[in-house]
Every structure is written in structure tokens, then in C-alpha cells.
């Protein structure tokens, strides 16, 4: 019998550590090569990790909920023969080398790497400390200085600052109190409101959750890792962006009739289903070209307008939500969008997405209508500045040319960042999306 080491895999160039969410096998279980052995979570995505060899899971070295650096030995697999050990130790795509190479690989991740997200410039690194892309992005959005970052105690591997560390610091950071009659200093982005006193900071979650409860009459359920990350991201978005909302209704009758007429033939010919999502993406892409500020982000006091269009599609999972991205969405026709949306939705639900596929989005779409809701008001997916919410398509009586007709109607909502998108611009963009949907021409697709 030979033992090989299973290490924390490297899921992407900018990924330096991962959290073990769940071991799907326990010590003593027989495992086959490429069989899922555990689930891990990184700053970008949750993934199922296959075993690198067949054998028996001899020992679990890192328990669930722990965060460790890439290359760290997390388990040992007992295999039969040296050949199996050699095969299992060989590096594969998306994985780091095993046992012997692990310390070397761990050193490599200490070197500064370029963050793949164009939305945020990396914070300069000093000393031996490494900051993940997400920590750097949050620090930049919150105008944290390098001195503040360096002073933060880190709970991660080798004292690294994690998302929880920086979010806890931001929640508890107290602003200096001004002298009586002296106005508070305003944020750099809003000099016009410098004379207004800053709003009092929100109480940290610990204050709210510390209320006494009768444990005999409640069920206490701790948040899982994904829910914690979603909570942090949503709170951060509300703190960063002043949200404004617009709602319009759209007549989808022509598209509904077109899809109903061709969906069976389309699936046979193309090998994929034709849902309504590609129609919405197509209309959004066209509207973004007319209103490019919607496809931007904010960096300090600068507005970065993207010349590329990467549409994120919110996908509901059993225990949360993830937003995979269709890169260069404007390069697809309707067939290509149908294939792309079905593919990313399927792989998202089966934890097969790569980290690069959930970052780099420039605009997001979420469909509350799939659950029967008429409409919803979504939270902006940072660092984007707008998100489209799609309601249920329902038949309703409407007035057309002074006559009542039964039409397929959908409510569309747009949430946008009032720092750079005003009501007129946001409302015009939403109406342009409605225009392209209502004037859909099959021959042009």
C-alpha cells in the first residue's frame, strides 16, 4: 500500500486559499479516481473536487469550515502500488502538485499576481502579507489605506486578512467625531454634500443577533459558507451604492408567440432549449450600446466605461445564489446566447464553474419571474452600477388603440447606482430595453 497526499488545489491564477465546505467521503471510505471527495469554496466560486486516485481515504487533515492556502495537504489517500501513487501525484489542469511540490507551490502564491478583474487595481503589497483580490477590491471601494490594511489582524493562513476580517473592521470602524457645529468630512465622491452630517453607522450584526431568545421555541441554524458570502456582498453593495429604482412594463406577446412556434424544432436542431433569457440578454446588449454608462464601474472619483459587454446571469442554487458571466455577450446571436445560458446554468447547479466564469461581469440580470413573482427590486452586483430584474410573463388585459386586448406582459425593474446614473438616464435605458423586446424581429437574429 502507498499513501499519497491530497492538496488544496489551485482554482485560478488569483486564488491563494480555499475553504473546505464539506467532505463527501469520510475516513475509511473507498473512493474511485475522479470521484467527488470534497467541496471547497474560494473568493470566486464553490467547486466539487475529484479524487486524484483510487483507493481509501486514510486520513482527513483539515476539517470542514477551515481555510487553508493552496498547496496545503488536506488529506491522505491510501492506494495500491507505487504506480497509482505516481499517477495521482502528477499535476493536472487546475491542480497543484502533491506532497513534495506543495511547499514550493505554497511559496509561489506569496508572489504578487495580477488580479483578473479589470474593475479594481490591486492594492500595493508591503512586507510578506498577501491580500486576495476580493480583499483588495473591498479595501479600494472603502478607501482603506495600506496602513489600515497592514494594521488589521488576520485570521487566515499565516495571518492573512480574510473577507470576514475586513468586513468586521468596516462594521466596527468608528468615524472621528467633529467639534460642535463643525460639519463632518464628506466622502471624496460627493463634495456637494460636504455640509451634511454623516449618517450614524449601522449597528453591527452582533448587536442585533445578541437579543435573548427562548431556545425551546426556535430553531437556530448557522449560516453556511455561501450564505455568509452572499450576506457580506449584499451589505457591502448597499453601503457602497445609493440605489435608485425604475419599473416598466413590456409587451412580450410577439416573442412569446415566436418562441412557442419554434421551441420544439429549435431544441431538436440545436440540441438545447430556447428559454426567454436569451431574448432579454439580446435586448440588454443592444440597449447598453445606446447607453454605455450603464456598462461602467466607479474607481474612486473616476468612472470606468467598459468597451466590452459581459452579462452576468443570476442562478438560484439550493442554498444560495451565484452569478456566472457570459463574456463578450455582444458577439453571440440568439442561438449562441441560448447555448451559453443553458450551459452556465447547468454547470452552476452542479458546481462545475471555474473562478474566471463568475467574475468580470459588467451588467447583471436576475429573473424573479421564474418563481411566479410579478417583479422584484434586486441589489446591484458590485462593482457594477446596474442590474435588471425580470418578472413573470403573464396574460393581462391591456388597452391598445382604445380597445382591450389580451397580451403577454412582463414587468422589468432596473436598480442603478445614483452616484453616476441619474433617474432620466436609468429610465431611458430601461425603456430602450422594452423597445427592443417589443420590436423583436426574428429575421434579424
Active-site annotation, residues: 418, 422
236-271 burial, b for 16+ CB within 10 Å, e for fewer?
Answer: bbeebbebbebeebbbbbbbbebbeeeeeebeeeee
Q: How buried is residue 93: exposed, middle or buried, by Cβ count under 10 Å (0-12/13-18/19+)?
A: exposed
Cα gap 16→87, rounded to integer Å: 25
Q: Decide: helix, strand or coil at residue 87.
A: helix
Q: What residues are paired with 364 via a beta bridge?
A: 312, 387
Q: What residues are paired with 246 via a beta bridge?
A: 414
Q: What residues are paired with 248 via a beta bridge?
A: 412
Q: Which of these, 73, 375, 46, lies nearest to 224 by C-alpha position?
A: 46
Peptide bond into 383 cis (omega under 30): yes
Tell me whether strands 30-31 and 325-326 are parallel, antiparallel or unpaired.
Answer: unpaired
Question: Does residue 138 contact residue 166 with C-beta atoms inside 8 Å?
Answer: yes
Tell me whether strands 315-317 and 302-305 are parallel, antiparallel or unpaired.
Answer: unpaired
Owner of C-alpha cell 511559496? 107
Question: Does residue 420 contact residue 296 with C-beta atoms inside 8 Å?
Answer: yes
Cα gap 112→132, rounded to integer Å: 10
Q: How buried is residue 186: exposed, middle or buried, by Cβ count under 10 Å (0-12/13-18/19+)?
A: middle
Q: CA 305 from chain center: how many Å?
A: 20
Amino acid at each position: 500500500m502507498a499513501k499519497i497526499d491530497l492538496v488544496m488545489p489551485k482554482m485560478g491564477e488569483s486564488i491563494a486559499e480555499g475553504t473546505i465546505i464539506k467532505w463527501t467521503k469520510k475516513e475509511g471510505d473507498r473512493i474511485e479516481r475522479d470521484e467527488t471527495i470534497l467541496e471547497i469554496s474560494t473568493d470566486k466560486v464553490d467547486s466539487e473536487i475529484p479524487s486524484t486516485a483510487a483507493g481509501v481515504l486514510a486520513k482527513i487533515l483539515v476539517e470542514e469550515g477551515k481555510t487553508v492556502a493552496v498547496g496545503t495537504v488536506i488529506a491522505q489517500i491510501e492506494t495500491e502500488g507505487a504506480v497509482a501513487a505516481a499517477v495521482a501525484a502528477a499535476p493536472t489542469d487546475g491542480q497543484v502538485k502533491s506532497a513534495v511540490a506543495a511547499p514550493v507551490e505554497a511559496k509561489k502564491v506569496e508572489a504578487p499576481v495580477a488580479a483578473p478583474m479589470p474593475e479594481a487595481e490591486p492594492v500595493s503589497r508591503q512586507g510578506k502579507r498577501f491580500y486576495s483580490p476580493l480583499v483588495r477590491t473591498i479595501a479600494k471601494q472603502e478607501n482603506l489605506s495600506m496602513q489600515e490594511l497592514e494594521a488589521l489582524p488576520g485570521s487566515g493562513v499565516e495571518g492573512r486578512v480574510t473577507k470576514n476580517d475586513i468586513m468586521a473592521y468596516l462594521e466596527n470602524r468608528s468615524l472621528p467625531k467633529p467639534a460642535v457645529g463643525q460639519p463632518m468630512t464628506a466622502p471624496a465622491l460627493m463634495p456637494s454634500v460636504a455640509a451634511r452630517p454623516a449618517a450614524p453607522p449601522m449597528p453591527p450584526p452582533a448587536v442585533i443577533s445578541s437579543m435573548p431568545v427562548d431556545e425551546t421555541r426556535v430553531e437556530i441554524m448557522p449560516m453556511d459558507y455561501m450564505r455568509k458570502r452572499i450576506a457580506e456582498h449584499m451589505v457591502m453593495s448597499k453601503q457602497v451604492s445609493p440605489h435608485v429604482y425604475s419599473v416598466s412594463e413590456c409587451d412580450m406577446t410577439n416573442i412569446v408567440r415566436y418562441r412557442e412556434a419554434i421551441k420544439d424544432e429549435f431544441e431538436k436542431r440545436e440540441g438545447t432549449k430556447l428559454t426567454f433569457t436569451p431574448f432579454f440578454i439580446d435586448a440588454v446588449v443592444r440597449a447598453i450600446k445606446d447607453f454605455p454608462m450603464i456598462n461602467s464601474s466607479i474607481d474612486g472619483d473616476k468612472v470606468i466605461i467598459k468597451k466590452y459587454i459581459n452579462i452576468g446571469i443570476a442562478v438560484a442554487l439550493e442554498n444560495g445564489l451565484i452569478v456566472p458571466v457570459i463574456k463578450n455577450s455582444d458577439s453571440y446571436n440568439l442561438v449562441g446566447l441560448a447555448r451559453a445560458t443553458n450551459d452556465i446554468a447547468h454547470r452552476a447547479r452542479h458546481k462545475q464553474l471555474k473562478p474566471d466564469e463568475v467574475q468580470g461581469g459588467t451588467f447583471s440580470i436576475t429573473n424573479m419571474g421564474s418563481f411566479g413573482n410579478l417583479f422584484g427590486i434586486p441589489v446591484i452586483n458590485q462593482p457594477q452600477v446596474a442590474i435588471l430584474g425580470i418578472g413573470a410573463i403573464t396574460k393581462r388585459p391591456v388597452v391598445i388603440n382604445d380597445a382591450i386586448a389580451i397580451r403577454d406582459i412582463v414587468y422589468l425593474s432596473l436598480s442603478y447606482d445614483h452616484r453616476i446614473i441619474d433617474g432620466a438616464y436609468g429610465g431611458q435605458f430601461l425603456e430602450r430595453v422594452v423597445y427592443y423586446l417589443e420590436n423583436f424581429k426574428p429575421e434579424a437574429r
